[in-house]
Homo-oligomer: A and B are copies of this chain.
């Protein structure tokens, strides 16, 4: 009987560390990223799991014909580590032996081994399985990993419990028609627009909870800001004294995460030349005040009094940055009728809510707020909106059997990544985007 004891796992050499191995002979695995033939020798760039490595092919020490190498072939190479101050890693590898493990059957349909991908966004996404092999492209998602790790690490430190809630649901939490419908064994079911009901239920269990998972919006918008499936970073916390605690918590989370990236993803930040925002404090402005400020500063007419136009979000960003230096701004007290039925109204003016959005570089990346925790209050708000309380039986259990004052928020991971990297379209920060026109790859 074969015994699997866990010993047969290689710890791969980390090519980023080879600068400490000058003069030694090493074995590396990776794909041939680029071959540049010179007179009498060749540069052979190898894409390893975390960095590009410059290999030198030279008949003096290479024991194989150069013709053996093809771009994108997967290889094991043996070579000598030689100091080279001009290369990014500080070293190059004199290629001695190569073993071809896997070879492309044809030349790639797009050039992926230049510094930047110079193709349209559609081509970039159509060919994702190969365009992601571009050094910069893959680094975007490595950094996104770091963002998630930073968030998670912060939330664990602050006593949040990680949960997994269902994405197939019997009713939408956010209301409206923007919901995907599916056949669930002969019954109608929907894809969750958010984990809202579930995270509120879990506040009664653990006090503070979070989830990082996909959510679904069947919005027909085809804009640079919308995805129909995206990753939502959701948290919800109990024993709130004041809805501003939510904004303080998010501010801390963002600070922590940016510091986490600096400490753990410096290589990626550098490669992508990320212009990291500084957060000392984030201004919070009431929605109506912000509307007025924009109108005044830019001599604009206020049209939609219940929401921002995308252009206004950009102007607000400019204005706040100029005045305070902050690239983030919280907008608070959105009109009640524009917020979902579970949002707590402002005691001082019930037409407004104790809710907020966070805008980052001109784009809304978070929606949050305090929730109604009183049963009668929630019931009467449902009824006043013409909704049927019976459809919310299991949700209302949380109010009926007492839940502490609480609130929370959802942050769009792709939007945050995209603004951090100052991209022109949120799709650039999604591995395999889903939009109204796109279901593949």
Contacts and interface: CB of A to CB of B under 8 A. Distances in A.
Contacts of A386: none
Interface stretch (A18-26, A156-164, A270-278, A300-308): A156-164
Contacts of A132: 201-202, 204-205
A314 interface: no
Interface string A283-309: 111000000000000000000000000
Given A8-B244, A202-B132, A404 B440 contact: no
B283 A159 contact: no
A282 interface: yes
A350 interface: no
Given A6-B252, A6-B255, A247-B4, A49 B431 contact: no
B402 A216 contact: no
Contact of A184 (B101, B180, B239, B405): B180
A439 B402 contact: no
Contacts of A432: 165-166, 198
Interface string A126-166: 11111011000010011011001100000010110111111
Contacts of A282: 3-5
Given A165-B432, A330-B4, A128 B394 contact: yes
A50 B142 contact: no
A189 B439 contact: yes
Given A145-B161, A162-B148, A4 B244 contact: yes
Interface string A1-15: 111111111111010
Counting chain B CB atoms within 10 Å of each CB, the highest count among A220, A249, A373, A432 belongs to A432
A252 to B, nearest CB: 4
Nearest to A29: B239
A337 interface: no
B201 A128 contact: yes
A376 interface: yes
Nearest to A184: B439
Given A6-B251, A216-B168, A248-B7, A102 B402 contact: yes
A155 to B, nearest CB: 11
A191 interface: yes
Given A3-B282, A170-B439, A397-B130, A73 B402 contact: yes
Given A283-B2, A402-B103, A133 B229 contact: no
A389 interface: no
Contacts of A104: 400-402
Interface stretch (A114-122, A207-215, A339-347): A207-215
Contacts of A148: 162
Given A9-B252, A239-B74, A229 B281 contact: no
A251 B242 CA distance: 47
A251 B201 CA distance: 36
Interface of A: 1-12, 14, 29-31, 48-50, 72-74, 76, 101-106, 108, 126-130, 132-133, 138, 141-142, 144-145, 148-149, 156, 158-159, 161-170, 180-185, 187, 189, 191, 197-198, 201-202, 204-208, 213-214, 216, 218, 220, 228-229, 231, 238-239, 242, 244-245, 247-249, 251-252, 255, 280-285, 324, 330, 373-376, 393-395, 397-398, 400-405, 413, 431-432, 434, 436, 439-441
11 contacts: A3-B283, A12-B159, A12-B239, A29-B404, A30-B207, A73-B402, A101-B404, A142-B161, A164-B214, A170-B440, A213-B214
